[in-house]
Chain A
Amino acid sequence: MPSIIGLPEVLRQPMRKKRSLMPLVYAAVVIVLFSSLYLLKYLNVSELYGKPVSDLQPATRQLLKDPHYQNIILPDELDRRIESGEPTFVYFFSSDCGFCRETTPVLMPIAEELGVDLPQFNLVEFKDYYRKYNIVFTPTLAYFEGGKEVSRIEGGIGAGGHSADDYREFLRNPKGAAS
């Protein structure tokens, strides 16, 4: 039998001085610490955005509890909603855009008053969607029907932008107000 040469070596093993288990314990502790650091991040996932709060932009983190920013729509759902062909408005904003911050608290109550469901898409968290939906000037309020954009109103409420009434008119009659 060829293994007979190896056999004595295996038998000799228990005779060695017993090695300390401490290095293994240290290693285990380090592994547990590292993995918990990694997992901690996923304990604090934003329900609104479906990703860890630590992955969100600082400006977005500030808005998480803001009552005017609770109708957030995420990329997949946005695509589905538009592709479904049903008429829908989408408010494209960026959480770090000052103009948007002035506009949202005025616009959302108007939408509510008119009974319009106005999903809010935060472009700064999903930047590829700037190009995908050709958004240049945030905020942009767009109206989609039949899977494509019908009209939009660019720029916010305030200096250099539009009035609250312009937005009200757009929400009432998006096809007539095409710009």
Chain B
Amino acid sequence: MRSARDWLLGGVILLLAGFMAASGCSGGESAGGDGHEHGVMTTEGEWHETTSGPDELPSFLLRYADRTVDLYAVVYEHMDILRQLNCYCGCMDANDPHDSLLRCFLVDVQDDGSITWTDHGANCGICLMELQDAVAFAKQGKSADEIRGLIDAKYAPADL
């Protein structure tokens, strides 16, 4: 026969498990929103999500406007140009992982072809504007150097 104490201890364990589940859930919710997204929140407050490849866009984009999704969809094919462009969102300051405009959208391409995306660009007006312009320039057949010059001329702060 179980004593009242055994039941109480069982209750305590359940309660602790409940607390852990609750805090785990709320953490996931604040980061991912509906809790169905798979990704990680970085210390900079960026949401990183990995997909199988360029044809699978990250699910965090479901919360953004169609135009934003369209722009993310052309990041991969313009990777080589975007890698050479500066980002003027203030994210390229010292000690920051952002080393190019590309990094505002795409973190990494793994050996197996899977891609890690970041939601930084989706929250960043100037990143999206630069991307939109760069893609338009690329369509006009401009070289990476030309595009970089045009982007710098348009977006670089006057005091730099």
Contact = CB atoms under 8 A, between A and B. Distances in A.
A31 B14 CA distance: 11
Contact of A99 (B16, B64, B67, B125): B125
Given A124-B45, A160-B155, 15 more contacts: A27-B9, A30-B16, A38-B23, A97-B124, A98-B90, A98-B91, A98-B124, A99-B124, A123-B123, A124-B123, A127-B33, A130-B64, A137-B125, A140-B125, A161-B126
Interface of A: 9, 19, 23-24, 27, 30-31, 34-35, 38, 55, 57-59, 94, 96-101, 123-124, 127-128, 130-131, 134-140, 154-156, 158-161
A164 to B, nearest CB: 14
Nearest to A57: B45
A154 B126 CA distance: 10
Contacts of A34: 16, 19
B21 to A, nearest CB: 12
Interface of B: 1, 3, 5, 8-9, 12, 15-16, 19, 22-23, 26, 30, 33, 43-45, 60, 62-68, 71, 88-91, 119-120, 122-126, 128-130, 154-158
Contacts of A27: 8-9, 12
Given A134-B65, A136-B68, A137-B125, A98 B89 contact: yes
Nearest to B152: A159
A161 B30 CA distance: 31
Contact of B129 (A9, A127, A160): A160
B61 to A, nearest CB: 9
Contacts of B65: 130-131, 134-136
A131 B5 contact: no
B87 to A, nearest CB: 9
Nearest to A10: B1
Contacts of A55: 26, 30
Given A159-B157, A160-B129, A131 B89 contact: no
A155 B126 CA distance: 7
A9 B156 CA distance: 86
Contact of B88 (A94, A135, A159): A159
